[in-house]
Amino acid sequence: NCKQDLTVESAEAACDILSQLVNCTIKTLGLISTARPSFMDVSQSHFVSALTVVFVNSKSLSSIKIDGTPVDDPSLKVLVANNSDTLKLLKMSSCPHVSPAGILCVADQCHGLRELALNYHLLSDELLLALSSEKHVHLEHLRIDVVSENPGQTHFHTIKRSSWEALVRHSPKVNIVMYFFLYKEEFEPFFFSKEMLGRIGLHCPRLVELVVCANGLEPLDEELIQIAERCKSLTAIGLGECEVTCSGFVEFVKMCGGRLTQLSIMEEVLIPDSSFNMEQIHSEVSKHLGRIWFPDMMPTW
């Protein structure tokens, strides 16, 4: 792994090191920026030239983590030309110089790819279908970051349901993780804004984990109960900066029962009502979970 921090000079020095790996055959490459400035602040030509040296001379790369770097389509083509038979993991979130065609080239040729992490703007029906081809191994992990680069100006395309279904048929055990960093008005292309949260069960019956970090101050009782009814594989949930009544939350936990192995709810989320107050809820929830449970509390320091 190559880790750099603090200065552009250190990032440039890291590129110089990569440029010298002419006689090295490496299997794992990880580029990590621990602070700003980062690899995005160095000369793109310098970075791409250095990365290409590694791609050309290694020929057996199996794991590549190049999040937040100026990697581009031509360098990915070099990667594919030299390491298509060995590449198993590719993490490349926040790589603005890569196009959907660039990542599709990787999926088309690297049939051993098992783990992939990328931004939503690189996701396409063609990419999912390429990952679902007969030649491709079963995908194990797909992480998608949905990030608003220009609030109010970002357009998010939609992906056909048939494309997702093709991926699931081909890789039935695939673990799909989606992180959303959006403003409320930007959720429209996706199936769970506040108004549509209850429809998760219709679209994601295999949902395993759900984390709602911020969802306004309207109670989510009905939405959570619908999820409990339809998402029979749900085992973990976290709620913060939203609201649910104590009785609604108890009903949700009662429906899910002991299969909820992780239940992280901030105390401020729970709204006391005529059925339960804050003193009563922990014992009632603990009863349905089959173990002692308390809501999380914000530190006072």
Percent of the chain with pLDDT over 70: 83
Secondary structure class of 243 (helix, strand, coil): strand
Is there a contact between 205 and 230 (Cβ–Cβ < 8 Å)? yes
Q: Over the stretch 48-75, which tens digit does the pLDDT of each residue have?
A: 998 898 898 888 899 999 998 899 999 9
Question: Looking at residue 29, what is its pLDDT?
Answer: 87
Q: Over the stretch 127-168, which tens digit does the pLDDT of each residue have?
A: 999 999 999 999 999 999 888 766 565 677 888 889 988 998
Nearest alpha carbon to residue 112 among 146, 91, 74, 140: 140
Range list of H helices, 65-122: 73-83, 100-109
The answer, yes or no, to whether residue 204 has pLDDT greater than 90, is: no
More confident position, 136 or 220: 136
